[in-house]
Amino acid sequence: MTTAPARQVFRLPDLGEGLTEAEIIEWKVAAGDTVEVDQIVVEVETAKAVVEVPIPYAGIVTRLHAEAGGVLSVGEPLIEVGPADAAEVHPAAARYREEEQAGSGNVLIGYGTGHASGTRRRRHGRSRPAAGTAPATGTPQAPRVISPLVRRIAREHGVDLAGVSPSGPHEVILRRDVDRAIARGTAEKPAPPSSPAGTAKALTAERIPLRGLRRAVADKLSRSRSEIPDATTWVDVDATGLLEAKNALRQTQPELGVGLLAMLARICVEGLRRFPELNSTVDTGRSEIVRYGHINLGFAAQTDRGLVVPVVRDAHLMTTARLAAELTRLTGLARSGKLPPEALTGGTFTLNNYGVFGVDGSTPIINHPEAALLGVGRIIDRPWVTGGTLTARKITQLSLTFDHRVCDGGVAGGFLRYVADCVENPAILLAHA
């Protein structure tokens, strides 16, 4: 081993999956702290997930290059570390520098040293009160706002920071908190009374940065619409039988946790086995249609950060019970903001249950670069003719959007009809199990 240099600058690493920037959510260390190789030093939010970033150096933190709420691009300085007593360059740090220079994109994958992470080290020569505690004098504590940008935005929009609920670590007010306060204030303002002359006053325009998850979604959907010649077909189906099957499973085998989404996922998997044209993508560079030999089923999940699409890998190898367990696991991670980036990529087909929003139908946009997406509307009582008799049944609408380059309407209609038949009569699945 060799003696550590006077200063080590750790730059925001390549987070993979084409991500180019990240927002600082919470620092796990501060200037003066001692850190070890592989210790988690910061939590950042990318367009795909919240990521804990380890540092490949050991020593004393001398500088943090960004504040909570700030946005850094890949390659920008993140944190500086100076030498501690007898500090040495760890082999993992040297390997990190080689990977960084080579652009391997693997710098966030464990450095293999086995050090514990996530704990703050003792600071040299000084102490401070716990974050969020009030001063000893008993005076009210002022709102904790670290970013000057956040203060400026609040000032420009007349937002009283004392009334803003913080969502950042240690009750720090972040930009998104101010944005919510601005939006809430705009919504709560009464409409201005009409002037005697009958002229109307214009509403104040609001500019919201398109970044993070919203920007990633916008880029992907725009690319889908610009590259894929999509078409949508739909059908109304009687879902009474599917609901009865779900309720029967819940009563007889509640430990399996099989819900409606898991049953729809199983139906999609079986449909793709019979119509593999829809489990594909188009390689425009080679002018080829690529039909996958596996099914990675994506499903839309609504979270506080917006709509994300976790992916159930190798869904074709799973039983309905295993599908249900994986859907539950991924949904929980998505809603807690802890989905790793790799859990949001690699899908070959997407299932979107937009009926949870109380709507009947939609023309979904394909999740590029996939070739198809099945949408499911709300299930409600409607008049339906069964055996020549008009009765009330549980009806839903299924919508299939597909890439017209990979198949024609016959294949798309065949897949949708198979799914509809399974929804109306789940016993069909047993014939092919």
Give me the residue spans of the domains in the chain: 8-102, 148-188, 212-431
Q: What is the pLDDT of residue 313?
A: 97
Catalytic entry in 90, 316, 404, 432: 404
Contact 427, 271 (CB under 8 A): no
Q: What is the pLDDT of residue 127?
A: 39
Q: What is the pLDDT of residue 214?
A: 76
Q: What is the pLDDT of residue 180?
A: 86
Q: What is the pLDDT of residue 132?
A: 40
Strand ranges (DSSP E) for 1-151?
8-11, 21-27, 34-35, 40-45, 50-54, 59-64, 71-73, 77-82
Contact 411, 277 (CB under 8 A): yes
Q: Which CATH class is domain 212-431?
A: alpha beta
Q: Which CATH class is domain 148-188?
A: few secondary structures
Q: Which residues of the chain have pLDDT under 70?
A: 1-5, 16-18, 47-48, 85-149, 169-170, 186-202, 431-433
Q: Which CATH class is domain 8-102?
A: mainly beta
Contact 268, 236 (CB under 8 A): no
Q: What is the pLDDT of residue 137?
A: 43
Query: Which of helix, strand or coil describes residue 423?
Result: helix
Tell me, yes or no, if 90 is annotated catalytic: no
Q: pTM for the full model?
A: 0.61
Distances from the Cα of 176 to the Cα of 115, 284, 305, 340, angstroms: 34, 39, 11, 22
* Peptide bond preceding 192 in cis form (omega within 30 of 0): no
**How far apart are alpha carbons 83 and 88 in whole angstroms?**
8
